Structure 1
Amino acid sequence: MKITEVMAPEHETVVRVEEPSVGLTGFVAVHSTALGPAAGGLRMRPYADEAAALEDALRLSRGMSYKNAAADLPLGGGKSVILGDPARKSPEMLAAFGRAIDSLGGRYWTAEDMGMSPEDMAVVAGETAYVAGLPHGEYASGDPSPITARGIFSAIRITARHRFGSDDLTGRTVSLQGLGHVGVHLARMLHEAGARLVVADTDAARVTAAREAFGAEAVAPEAILAVEADILAPCAIGAILNEKTIPELRVAAVAGGANNQLATAADGARLHARGILYAPDFVANAGGIINVATEILRISDRAGYVDQKLAAVETTLDRILTRAAEADLSPNDIAEATVGERLVRPAA
Structure 2
Amino acid sequence: MGIFDEMRKYGHEQVIFLQHRRTGLKSIIAIHDTTAGPALGGCRMRPYESEEEMLLDVLRLSRGMTYKCGIVDVDNGGGKCVIWGNPHKDKTAEMFRALGRFVDGLGGRFYTGTDVGTYPQDFVHAKRETPYIVGVPVEYGGSGDSSVPTALGVIQGIRATAMKLWNSTDLSGKTFAVQGLGKVGYKVAVSLAEQGAHLIVSDVVMENIERLQQAVPEATVATPDAIFEVHCDMFVPCALGAILNDQTIPRLRCKAVVGSANNQLLDEEKHGAMLQQRGILYAPDYLVNAGGLIQVADELLGVNPDRVTAKTMAIYDILLRVYDYAEQHQLPTSLAANRIVEERLATVADLKSICS
TM-score (norm: length of structure 1): 0.94
Does the Cα contact within 8 Å between 2:178 and 2:201 map onto a contact in 1? yes
Does the Cα contact within 8 Å between 1:139 and 1:294 map onto a contact in 2? no
- Distance in 2, matches of 1:102 and 1:221, equals 40
Residue 324 of structure 2 corresponds to residue 330 of structure 1 = no
- Could you say which residue in structure 2 is the equivalent of 1:342? 344
- Distance in 1, matches of 2:280 and 2:169, equals 17
- Distance in 2, matches of 1:311 and 1:184, equals 19
Count of equivalent residues: 341
Residue 256 of structure 2 corresponds to residue 253 of structure 1 = yes
Does the Cα contact within 8 Å between 1:70 and 1:313 map onto a contact in 2? no
Query: 269, 286, 300: which is aligned to 1:296?
Result: 300
- Distance in 1, matches of 2:281 and 2:72, equals 21
Query: 218, 235, 250: which is aligned to 2:238?
Result: 235
- Could you say which residue in structure 2 is the equivalent of 1:181? 183
- Distance in 2, matches of 1:339 and 1:131, equals 25
Task: Give the residue type in structure 1 aligned to 2:99.
Answer: F
> Aligned with 1:199: secondary structure?
strand
CA RMSD in angstroms, aligned pairs only: 1.4
- How many percent of aligned residue pairs carry the same amino acid? 44
- Could you say which residue in structure 2 is the equivalent of 1:287? 291
> Aligned with 2:44: secondary structure?
strand
* Runs of 5+ unmatched residues, structure 2: none
Task: Give the residue type in structure 1 aligned to 2:204.
Answer: T
- Could you say which residue in structure 2 is the equivalent of 1:192? 194
Map 1:44-59 → 2, pairs under 5 A:
44-59=45-60
Task: Give the residue type in structure 1 aligned to 2:16.
Answer: V
> Aligned with 2:32: secondary structure?
strand
- Could you say which residue in structure 2 is the equivalent of 1:62? 63
Does the Cα contact within 8 Å between 1:225 and 1:249 map onto a contact in 2? yes
- Could you say which residue in structure 2 is the equivalent of 1:275? 279
Map 1:213-224 → 2, pairs under 5 A:
213-214=215-216, 215-224=218-227
- Distance in 1, matches of 2:170 and 2:213, equals 22
CA deviations on 1:54-108 (whole Å, 9 max, x unpaired) are 1111101000000011111001100000011111211111111111111111100
Does the Cα contact within 8 Å between 2:43 and 2:115 map onto a contact in 1? yes
Deviation, structure 1 residue 48: 1.1
- Could you say which residue in structure 1 is the equivalent of 2:40? 39
- Distance in 1, matches of 2:69 and 2:60, equals 14
Does the Cα contact within 8 Å between 1:177 and 1:201 map onto a contact in 2? yes
Does the Cα contact within 8 Å between 2:147 and 2:183 map onto a contact in 1? yes
Residue 319 of structure 2 corresponds to residue 317 of structure 1 = yes
Q: Which moved more, 1:169-178 or 1:19-28?
A: 19-28
- Distance in 1, matches of 2:150 and 2:176, equals 18
> Aligned with 1:18: secondary structure?
strand
CA deviations on 1:129-162 (whole Å, 9 max, x unpaired) are 1000011357511210011000100101111121
* Runs of 5+ unmatched residues, structure 1: 1-5
Deviation, structure 1 residue 258: 0.6
> Aligned with 1:16: secondary structure?
strand
- Distance in 1, matches of 2:300 and 2:44, equals 19
Does the Cα contact within 8 Å between 1:139 and 1:295 map onto a contact in 2? no
Q: Which moved more, 1:98-107 or 1:208-217?
A: 208-217
- Distance in 1, matches of 2:140 and 2:96, equals 23
CA deviations on 1:227-255 (whole Å, 9 max, x unpaired) are 22110111111111112211111111000
Deviation, structure 1 residue 208: 1.4
> Aligned with 1:21: secondary structure?
coil
- Distance in 2, matches of 1:342 and 1:139, equals 32
> Aligned with 1:86: secondary structure?
coil
- Distance in 2, matches of 1:101 and 1:175, equals 39
- Distance in 2, matches of 1:337 and 1:139, equals 36
- Could you say which residue in structure 2 is the equivalent of 1:163? 165
Q: Which moved more, 1:140-149 or 1:14-23?
A: 14-23
- Distance in 2, matches of 1:84 and 1:222, equals 26
Q: Which moved more, 1:324-333 or 1:45-54?
A: 324-333
Task: Give the residue type in structure 2 aligned to 1:339.
Answer: V
Task: Give the residue type in structure 2 aligned to 1:274.
Answer: R
TM-score (norm: length of structure 2): 0.92
